[in-house]
């Protein structure tokens, strides 16, 4: 299965709260899991990425948690700020099949952080 299922579709969080976005996949050959942040009218920008040999990766207020056995990974945004309001995409890829670098994207989560 070449799908990545992302939830929730939309999320409203109060300033200072924790935002959590979840993704699940079926293909155990996926070996690279990036998260992208997209503001309206702009292209997605890489936020943070993880490989399956690591269970957690943290960069500032952003943390990816990875559960290989459950085939799930999630993005946690600590101390959420209004400036974090954007659409977030998880993605997955398989390297080795001709190095195409193709990404399979989740459907996106629109995050609104209320002041």
- Residue pair 24/49 in contact (Cβ under 8 Å)? The answer is no
Q: Is 84 helix (H, G, I), strand (E, B) or coil?
A: helix
Q: Does 63 bind other proteins (CB under 8 A)?
A: no
Q: Out of 89, 92, 111, 113, point to the residue binding other proteins (CB under 8 A).
A: 89
Q: Out of 14, 55, 67, 100, point to the residue binding other proteins (CB under 8 A).
A: 100
Write the interaction track for other proteins spanning residues 16-55; mark x where CB under 8 A is met and - where it is not.
---------------xx-x-x----xxxxxx--x-x----
Cα–Cα dist 59/9, whole Å: 24
When the beta carbons of 17 and 27 are compared against other proteins, the nearer one is: 27
- The angle formed by the CA atoms of residues 46, 61 and 80, to the nearest 5 degrees, is 100
Q: Least Å distance between CB 16 and other proteins?
A: 27
From the list 13-21, 65-73, 76-84, 107-115, the region that binds other proteins by CB under 8 A is 107-115
Task: For residue 3, give Cα distances in angstroms to 28, 37, 56, 90, 103.
Answer: 11, 19, 22, 11, 10
Sign of the Cα torsion 79, 65, 106, 100 reads: positive
From the list 18-26, 57-65, 75-83, 98-106, the region that binds other proteins by CB under 8 A is 98-106
Cα–Cα dist 76/102, whole Å: 25
Interface positions with other proteins (CB under 8 A): 31-32, 34, 36, 41-46, 49, 51, 89, 95, 98-103, 105-108, 110
């Amino acid at each position: 299965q070449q799908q990545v299922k992302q939830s929730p579709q939309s999320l409203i969080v109060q300033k200072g709260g924790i935002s959590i976005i979840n993704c699940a996949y079926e293909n155990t050959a996926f070996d690279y899991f990036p998260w992208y942040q997209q503001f309206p009218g702009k292209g997605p920008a890489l936020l943070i990425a993880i490989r399956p040999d690591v269970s957690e990766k943290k960069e500032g207020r952003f943390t990816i948690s990875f559960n290989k056995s459950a085939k799930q990974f999630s993005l946690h945004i600590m101390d959420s700020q209004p400036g974090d309001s954007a659409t977030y995409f998880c993605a997955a890829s398989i390297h080795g099949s001709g190095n195409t670098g193709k990404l399979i994207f989740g459907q996106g989560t629109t995050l609104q952080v209320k002041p």
